[in-house]
């Protein structure tokens, strides 16, 4: 199957329609987990600094570590939602392995993108597209961070300009969700996340994984 923006978004929307209330609920759970993590670390910041507006090192690090765990669960969930929408359950949100590989991968990709942005911006955009599926690969195939980045680079080769349009469109769709009183994100986030998972699956298949 050839990757196209239209087919990926179409897949995301059609999959969402199969279990709309479940996907809305699952996305709400993810949002609430992030809010709970922020409340927890805010409490720690207040206990250490006496002011919730002053961030402590302990609170910031804990927020990052917990956020990574939630992100892993979200990636695992939307991959399973893509592959088997009728059978996926909320239990898929608990996916703590391989935690350290995922954490290292996000750090490395972030550093590479920042470095690229400092080099006249365009290289940062290219690096972002090149390594955009790194986190999915770590979760899906349990590769180490370097191998996952290499694999993301391989499967995106030849499609990066198309992927740029895809990512920008996903961002616009989620922006529309924000404009729709934020509640719209409960629809746009699962649709775009499943569409993103579809792009990953199609490009992986074409690359001969």
Angle between helical axes of 122-130 and 160-179 (0-180°, round to 10): 90
CB neighbours of 89 closer than 8 A, spacing ≥ 6?
Answer: none
Q: pTM of the entire structure?
A: 0.93
Q: Along the 209 residues of the chain, how does pLDDT read in single tens digits? A: 789 999 999 999 999 999 999 999 999 999 999 999 988 888 887 787 776 667 777 888 899 999 999 999 999 999 999 999 999 999 999 999 999 999 999 999 999 999 998 887 888 999 999 999 999 999 999 999 999 999 999 999 999 999 999 999 999 999 999 998 788 999 999 999 999 999 999 999 988 86
DSSP-assigned states of every residue in the chain: ----HHHHHHHHHHHHHHSHHHHHHHHHHHHHHHHHHHHHHHHHHHHHHS-TTSPPHHHHHHHHHHHHHHHHHHHHHHHHHHH-TTT--GGGG---TTHHHHHHHHHHHHHHHHHHHHTTSHHHHHHHHHTTTHHHHHHHH---HHHHHHHHHHHHTT-HHHHHHHHHHHHHHHHHHHHTTTTTHHHHHHHHHHHHHHHHHHHHHHHT-
Number of domains within the chain: 1
Full domain range(s) for residue 50: 5-207
CB neighbours of 9 closer than 8 A, spacing ≥ 6?
Answer: 169, 173, 191, 192, 195
Output the CA–CA distances (angstroms, integers) from residue 10 to 138, 198, 203, in the order listed: 26, 10, 16
Sign of CA dihedral 130, 132, 138, 139: negative
**pLDDT for 27:** 97
- How many Å apart are CA 97 and CA 79, to the nearest integer? 15
- How many Å apart are CA 66 and CA 36, to the nearest integer? 10
């Amino acid at each position: 199957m050839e990757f196209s923006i239209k087919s990926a978004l179409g897949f995301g929307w059609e999959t969402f329609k199969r279990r709309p209330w479940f996907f809305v609920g699952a996305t709400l759970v993810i949002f609430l987990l992030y809010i709970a993590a922020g409340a927890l670390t805010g409490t720690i910041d207040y206990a250490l600094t006496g002011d919730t507006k002053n961030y402590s090192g302990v609170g910031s690090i804990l927020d990052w570590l917990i956020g990574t765990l939630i992100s892993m669960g979200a990636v695992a969930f939307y991959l399973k939602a893509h592959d088997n929408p009728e059978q996926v359950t909320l239990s898929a949100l608990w996916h703590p392995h391989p935690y350290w590989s995922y954490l290292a991968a996000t750090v490395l990709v972030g550093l590479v993108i920042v470095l690229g942005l400092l080099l006249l911006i365009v290289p940062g955009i290219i690096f972002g597209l090149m390594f955009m599926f790194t986190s999915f690969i770590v979760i899906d195939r349990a590769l180490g961070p370097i191998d996952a980045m290499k694999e993301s680079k391989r499967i995106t080769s030849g499609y990066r300009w198309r992927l740029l349009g895809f990512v920008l469109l996903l961002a616009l769709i989620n922006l529309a969700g924000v404009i729709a009183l934020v509640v719209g994100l409960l629809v746009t986030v699962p649709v775009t996340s499943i569409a993103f998972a579809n792009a990953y699956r199609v490009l992986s298949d074409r690359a001969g994984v």
